[in-house]
């Protein structure tokens, strides 16, 4: 296994574990499986938990990728951050779609749905981060 793939697996796996734990804790113990009413919008508890976990895992994931996984990238930090935001926004949208599909239409438990959604998105995320966000010059 290439070293970069190993590093991505360890860092990404760690961030994914943090994401799932934060989702579980937010959904079950902070939100108590109840709708989060912000006044201007009411969020289903699993969507609110997704957002809460995202607030921690977005910066954590970027830092792990920038400094541990793809440290040889020639792109400037602000370009990497912008590209990372684009990919993560797409991942978040896919996560939202898959999560809602599994919970609302297939009646899966939200934490199980979150795990399934995350597993589906991992491969896309690695390839897009490697070839777009943290690109390395070919010699």
Digits of tens for pLDDT over the chain (139 positions)?
A: 888 889 988 998 999 899 999 999 999 999 999 999 999 999 999 999 999 999 999 999 999 999 998 888 888 889 999 999 999 899 989 989 999 999 999 999 998 998 999 888 888 888 888 888 887 777 6
Closest CA to 50 of 104, 10, 100, 108: 100
Q: Indicate the DSSP class of residue 32.
A: T
Q: Tell me phi and psi for residue 43, to 5 degrees.
A: -105, 135
Taking CA atoms, 83 is separated from 32, 45, 134, in Å, by 35, 29, 8
* Model confidence, pTM: 0.81
What torsion do the CA atoms of 120, 122, 116, 98 make, to the nearest 10 degrees? -60
Q: What is the structure's pLDDT at 139?
A: 63
């Amino acid at each position: 296994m290439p070293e970069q793939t190993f590093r991505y697996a360890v860092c990404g796996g760690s961030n994914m574990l943090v994401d799932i734990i934060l989702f579980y804790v937010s959904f079950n113990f902070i939100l108590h499986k109840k709708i989060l009413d912000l006044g201007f919008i009411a969020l289903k508890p699993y969507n609110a938990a997704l957002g809460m976990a995202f607030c921690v895992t977005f910066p954590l994931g970027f830092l792990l990728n920038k400094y541990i996984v793809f440290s040889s990238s020639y792109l400037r930090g602000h370009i990497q951050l912008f590209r990372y935001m684009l990919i993560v926004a797409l991942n978040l949208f896919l996560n939202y779609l898959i999560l809602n599909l599994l919970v609302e239409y297939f009646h899966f438990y939200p934490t199980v749905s979150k795990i399934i959604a995350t597993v589906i998105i991992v491969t896309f995320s690695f390839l897009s981060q490697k070839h777009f966000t943290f690109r390395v010059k070919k010699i």
